[in-house]
Structures are given as structure tokens and as C-alpha cells.
Amino acid sequence: MPNAADTVKSYFDALVARDAETLIAMMLPAAHYVKIGTDADEVVEGSTDIATYYRNHVASTEDFSIKFITLNVQEREDTAWFYTRQVWKLKWQGTPEEFVMRMTGVLEKIGESWKFAQIHASIGVSTTEDKL
């Protein structure tokens, strides 16, 4: 049985592999599920649109790699949470991009599996931009 940390790592592996079906299966099928992305309208509330969101996400990415700066996963009984900072390199809808991604999330244990109940992502501001 995977622990919460294994599940979080598997999520990022599936993103890089462009494996929408694995990503969809990792999400909690519940009305309180929330995924907030980096675009202004990138919000999934409830589980109805999870499949559409992740199928579109993987179809829009190419040449994806993730380098972890930090990853912290905490697990208590049937609840877990994570925080990570990463460097993402990818082609998004055909355009090469590289940026620092910051993500937090909450997982719930359902039976023997951990499922993502909430994910929030934001793009970090580079140190060069901080000086402007």
C-alpha cells in the first residue's frame, strides 16, 4: 500500500508521463474536490470536470520535466498534505517554458488509497523580477 508521499510523487511522475488516466484515478471523486491552477480560469470545483481537465492538460504539454527544489509531505491518520517547489520545463501548447512551480495540496485516505482532495498551484516570481 503506497503512503501519501509515494502518492504525491506518483502524481508528478504521471504529469511528466502525460498519463491522464492515472491522474484522474488519483483524484477524489467528491463535491469538495478543488484544483486551482495558474491561469485565471483554471479552477475545477467538484469531481465532474476532473477527467476533462487532466486530459486537456496532458494533451497540451510536451517535453515535460520536473526538478524538485523541495518536497514535504505530512501524513496523519486519514489526512495528508504536501508542499513543493519545483522547476518545470515543458512545451505548453507548443511554446517552450521554464518556471518555478509552487504547489500545495490535501489528500484523503479512502480505503487503502490516498486521493487528492485539493491542489493549488502558483508560479513563483524569479529573483531577477524581485529586484525590479
C-beta separation of 92 from 66 below 8 A: no
Task: Look at residue 2 in the predicted model and tell me its pLDDT.
Answer: 83
Q: Is pLDDT at 5 greater than 80 in this prediction?
A: yes
Q: Which stretch of 26-35, 98-107, 121-130 has the lowest confidence by average pLDDT? A: 121-130
Structure confidence at residue 126 as a pLDDT band (50, 70, 90) = low
pTM of the entire predicted model: 0.90
Domains of the chain: 4-124 (3.10.450.50)
Q: pLDDT tens-digit profile of 7-51?
A: 999 999 999 999 999 999 999 999 999 999 998 899 999 999 999
CA 69 to each of CA 34, 100, 108, 123, 129: distance values in angstroms, whole numbers, following the listed order = 25, 9, 25, 14, 19
Q: pLDDT tens-digit profile of 44-93?
A: 999 999 999 999 999 999 999 999 999 999 999 999 999 999 999 999 88
Cα separation, 31 vs 129, whole angstroms: 38
